[in-house]
């Protein structure tokens, strides 16, 4: 999808479809209350074209509700699409309102796709308390995210892309600022889709080696420094935990390292992004049941989120050094696979230390093994702050559903910056607890730590496992197992890979 920004007058635009947003301004409650949909535009001709239907009460401007008018009177556009935002909660800070605008842009794109309409012009919403630049960025993100569909291997793809998307912002005073915000939104949305494309790939097409190649191609395109290593390097770095997972597969592992080092930044923080890149998780010898196992191709969504975030970082060029490590492997049962009861030695967390010994209780708790070594390696490469993303536990889905992803942190200041990033990204993460008691649950009788902590608090014991490797380095852990794959299509996003995490990680990086 091509995206552009224009400042033309709405009524003059000749197009297949012009979309405008509407909010429900009704404040009264009770049986007397009637929905009061209001178009968020200053253009009198557009308002007049929609006046009759808005007055009819048939369209309530509910969240992502749509209404289509053909041959709207007084406009040059062939169709007028109205997309509802629900009640515009600008009073409680504009973050929520901006996010509803983001979703409405996605809804508009997804309205067009099955109808074969290839061109969308969307009017920037104008309302009190709604910041134009924030909206322009959100609209670009929402439109691009809405355009993605997962049916890449269908011979006849059902929903073809919208080819041309234009945001129109008549009457803009600061065009430069709006252009910049719109361009940023577009590249963030593209980066989220880049991650989704990777997550969507089946395990036979996207092996660890292929993931490494895709990461390298992307890095070359956007100008990131990159290295992709395999088995030998894992041994050299004494990554016994990462190798323990990899050893059960014919497919070699990939240790993917990307670096963003702006020339003029020589000191300050180094942000270390670490992603779980299990390209397929059978569970290993502790094999998973057949039901839904095919979904385990998305077990590299954390790694993909980090690659997507790095792509955006490379293009946005914030003044901070960032490195990303994706630990890619396939978790398979095999003659060489690790077994429950095995003891593995992780990479040392510091040069003067010995690697922690890990008792393997369940080979299906493999994500924390690869991440343990990934976190240590990020520290060795100089990361002062760590963030990891992983489809780590089914337990996080039990706790938070498919609505919120889980976030854990050993440092309130670092987490505060992440929370601020969530306001900008519109993504939903809920902070979950770490604690000594959870760490207790994963003490091993034979070694330092075991890789599962029993039935209760599974997401928290998994997080404590990672904490043992992040130690005192400020660190955030994102468990996206419940949210990285969407089971039902929503008005603004297709079912399939969600790309969760990309936008928040990017905004978190930009806050340094
Ligand atoms: N990749 C899974 C977690 C997962 C579950 C991701 C559902 C997406 C959807 C992870 O490797 C895993 O198998 N975790 C186990 C841990 C258990 C053995 C302690 C789990 O959650 O059951
Ligand atoms: Mn597993
Ligand atoms: Zn897994």
Residue of 287, 392, 457 best suited for mutating to test ligand 1, as the one with most atoms within 8 Å of CB: 392
Instruction: List the catalytic residue out of 288, 295, 428, 431.
Output: 288
Instruction: State the DSSP string of 28-41.
Output: --STT----EEES-
Taking 90 as the threshold, does the pLDDT of residue 27 lie above it?
no
Ligand 1 atom with least separation from CA of 453: 19
Residue of 394, 463, 484, 485 best suited for mutating to test ligand 1, as the one with most atoms within 8 Å of CB: 394
Calculate how far, in angstroms, residue 392's C-alpha sits from the geometric centre of ligand 1: 6
| Ligand 1 surroundings by CB, under 6 angstroms | 281, 299, 362, 364-367, 391, 393-395, 452, 458, 481
Ligand 1 atom with least separation from CA of 451: 19
Calculate how far, in angstroms, residue 283's C-alpha sits from the geometric centre of ligand 1: 8
Task: Give the pLDDT band (50/70/90) at residue 158.
Answer: low
Contact partners, residue 236, CB within 8 Å, separation at least 6: none
Ligand 1 atom with least separation from CA of 366: 11
Per-residue pLDDT tens over the stretch 64-105: 999 999 999 999 999 999 999 999 876 667 889 999 999 999
Nearest CA to ligand 1 atom 17: 365
Place of tokens 């979703």: 103
Give catalytic status of residue 368 as yes or no. yes
**Per residue, what are the HEC states of 42-92?**
CCHHHHHHHHHHHHCCCCCCCCCCEEEEECCCCCCCCEEEEEECCCCCCCC
Nearest CA to ligand 1 atom 7: 394
Per-residue pLDDT tens over the stretch 217-266: 999 999 999 999 999 999 999 999 999 999 999 999 999 999 999 999 99
Compute the average pLDDT of residues 131-138.
97
Instruction: List the catalytic residue out of 368, 450, 503, 510.
Output: 368
Calculate how far, in angstroms, residue 420's C-alpha sits from the geometric centre of ligand 3: 29
pTM for the complete prediction? 0.98
Ligand 1 atom with least separation from CA of 362: 18
Contact partners, residue 71, CB within 8 Å, separation at least 6: 78, 79
Per-residue pLDDT tens over the stretch 360-416: 999 999 999 999 999 999 999 999 999 999 999 999 999 999 999 999 999 999 999
Residues linked to residue 325 through DSSP beta bridges, in sequence order: 257, 274
pLDDT for res 144: 98
Which ligand is nearest to the Cα of residue 282, counting in written order? 2
- Helices 95-112 and 132-147 pack at an angle, to 10 degrees, of 40
Calculate how far, in angstroms, residue 229's C-alpha sits from the geometric centre of ligand 2: 23
Calculate how far, in angstroms, residue 330's C-alpha sits from the geometric centre of ligand 3: 9
**Ligand 2 (single-atom ion) residues, CB below 5 Å:** 281, 364, 366
SS3 281: strand
Ligand 1 atom with least separation from CA of 286: 18
Which ligand is nearest to the Cα of residue 278, counting in written order? 3
Nearest CA to ligand 1 atom 13: 364
Give catalytic status of residue 288 as yes or no. yes
Calculate how far, in angstroms, residue 480's C-alpha sits from the geometric centre of ligand 3: 11
Taking 80 as the threshold, does the pLDDT of residue 32 lie above it?
no
Taking 70 as the threshold, does the pLDDT of residue 159 lie above it?
no
Instruction: Quote the DSSP letter at residue 116.
Output: T
Going by their DSSP bridges, the two strands 270-281 and 385-390 should be labelled as parallel
What domains can be seen in the chain, in order of their start residue?
2-169 (3.40.220.10), 201-510 (3.40.630.10)
Instruction: Say how far apart CA 218 and CA 215 lie, in whole Å.
Output: 5
Which ligand is nearest to the Cα of residue 361, counting in written order? 1
CB atoms within 10 A of CB 462: 29
Calculate how far, in angstroms, residue 372's C-alpha sits from the geometric centre of ligand 2: 15
Compute the average pLDDT of residues 129-139.
96
By the 8 A CB rule, do 390 and 277 touch? no
* Segments in 158-296 forming alpha helices (H): 175-200, 208-222, 231-236, 240-246
Nearest CA to ligand 1 atom 5: 394
Instruction: State the DSSP string of 369-386.
Output: HHHHHHHHHHHHTT-SEE
Task: Give the pLDDT band (50/70/90) at residue 493.
Answer: very high
Which ligand is nearest to the Cα of residue 462, counting in written order? 1
Task: Give the pLDDT band (50/70/90) at residue 28.
Answer: confident
Nearest CA to ligand 1 atom 22: 394
CB atoms within 10 A of CB 449: 20
């Amino acid at each position: 999808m091509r995206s552009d920004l224009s400042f033309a007058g709405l009524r003059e635009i000749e197009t297949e479809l012009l979309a405008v947003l509407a909010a429900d301004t009704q404040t009264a409650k009770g049986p007397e209350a009637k929905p009061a949909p209001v178009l968020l535009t200053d253009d009198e001709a557009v308002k007049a074209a929609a006046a009759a239907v808005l007055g009819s009460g048939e369209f309530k401007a509910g969240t992502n509700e749509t209404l289509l008018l053909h041959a709207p009177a007084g406009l040059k556009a062939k169709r007028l699409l109205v997309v509802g935002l629900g009640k515009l909660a600008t009073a409680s800070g504009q973050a929520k309102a901006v996010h509803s605008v983001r979703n409405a842009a996605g809804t508009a794109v997804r309205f067009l796709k099955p109808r074969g309409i290839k061109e969308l012009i969307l009017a920037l919403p104008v309302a009190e308390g709604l910041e134009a630049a924030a909206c322009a960025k959100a609209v670009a993100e929402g439109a691009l995210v809405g355009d993605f569909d997962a049916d890449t291997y269908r011979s006849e793809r059902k929903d073809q892309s919208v080819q041309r998307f234009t945001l129109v912002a008549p009457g803009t005073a600061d065009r430069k600022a709006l252009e910049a915000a719109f361009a940023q939104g577009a590249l963030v949305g593209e980066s989220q889709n880049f991650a989704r494309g990777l997550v969507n790939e089946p395990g036979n097409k996207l092996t660890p080696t292929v993931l490494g190649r895709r990461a390298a191609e992307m890095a070359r395109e956007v100008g990131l420094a990159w290295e992709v290593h395999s088995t030998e390097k894992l041994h050299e770095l004494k990554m016994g935990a990462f190798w323990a997972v990899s050893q059960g597969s014919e497919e070699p592992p990939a240790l993917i390292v990307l670096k963003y080092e702006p020339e003029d930044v020589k000191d300050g923080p180094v942000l270390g992004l670490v992603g779980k890149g299990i390209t397929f998780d059978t569970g290993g010898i502790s094999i998973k049941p057949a039901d839904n196992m095919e979904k385990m191709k998305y077990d590299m969504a954390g790694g993909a989120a980090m690659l997507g975030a790095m792509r955006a970082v490379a293009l946005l060029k914030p003044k901070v050094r960032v490195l990303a490590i994706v630990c890619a492997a396939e978790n398979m049962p095999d003659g060489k696979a690790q077994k429950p009861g095995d003891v593995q030695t992780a990479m040392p967390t510091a040069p003067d230390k010995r690697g922690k010994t890990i008792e393997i209780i369940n080979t299906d708790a493999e994500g924390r093994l690869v991440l343990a070594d990934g976190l240590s390696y990020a520290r060795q490469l100089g990361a002062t702050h760590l963030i990891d993303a992983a489809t780590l536990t089914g337990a996080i889905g039990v706790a938070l559903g498919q609505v919120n992803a889980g976030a854990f942190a050993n440092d309130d200041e670092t987490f505060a910056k992440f929370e601020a990033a969530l306001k900008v990204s519109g993504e939903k993460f809920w902070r979950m607890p770490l604690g000594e008691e959870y760490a207790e649950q994963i003490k091993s009788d034979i070694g330092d730590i075991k890789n599962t902590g029993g039935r209760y608090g599974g997401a928290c014991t998994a997080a404590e496992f990672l904490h043992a490797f992040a130690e005192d380095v400020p660190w955030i852990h994102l468990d996206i197992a419940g949210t990285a794959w969407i089971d039902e299509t929503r008005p603004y996003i297709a079912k399939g890979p969600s790309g969760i995490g990309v936008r928040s990680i990017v905004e978190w990086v930009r806050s340094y």
